[in-house]
A = this chain, B = another copy of it.
Amino acid sequence: MHKIFESEIAVRPDDIDVNQHVHFTKYLDFMLAARYDQMKKDYKMSMEEFVNRGLNWFIKSFKVEYKRALKMGDIAIVKTQIESYNGATVVVNYWIYKKGETKIYVEGQAEFVLLSIQTGRPVRIPDDILQIYSV
């Protein structure tokens, strides 16, 4: 089992849609923002360092389930956990909460693939990065 990391993201007025809730796609942006934050804060290898090595992470697929809706003024807590990795891909589970509550608001799973910036093709995750992600 890999460690669960968490990030805090304040809902902004431009995240709210016609239904007075956070727009359904913004939770995915929160998840991505949390991964960027955690790459730097928790894995100690930021997205910039990947780019400097000619590598880039792309989202290959994801699933999301909406249980409750965040609203104006809420703060999202985004937890993510690596489920598995294989070849060029990493599968990440994520859960979004409202700060101060224990109920899950949104949950899902995303599959990221490591690409070579030069060729645009998948690249087997290098051993030193696997090491970093093994926590």
Contact = CB atoms under 8 A, between A and B. Distances in A.
Nearest to A56: B19
Contacts of A30: 12
Contacts of A14: 17, 23, 25-26, 29, 32-33
Number of copies: 4
Interface stretch (A64-72, A83-91, A92-100, A125-133): A64-72
Contact of A19 (B29, B58, B65): B58
A46 B59 CA distance: 30
Interface residues of A, number: 36
A45 interface: no
Interface of A: 9-10, 12-14, 16-20, 23-26, 28-30, 32-33, 36, 40, 46-48, 56, 58-66, 72-73
12 contacts: A12-B30, A13-B17, A13-B18, A13-B32, A14-B29, A17-B17, A18-B20, A18-B72, A25-B25, A25-B28, A28-B28, A61-B64
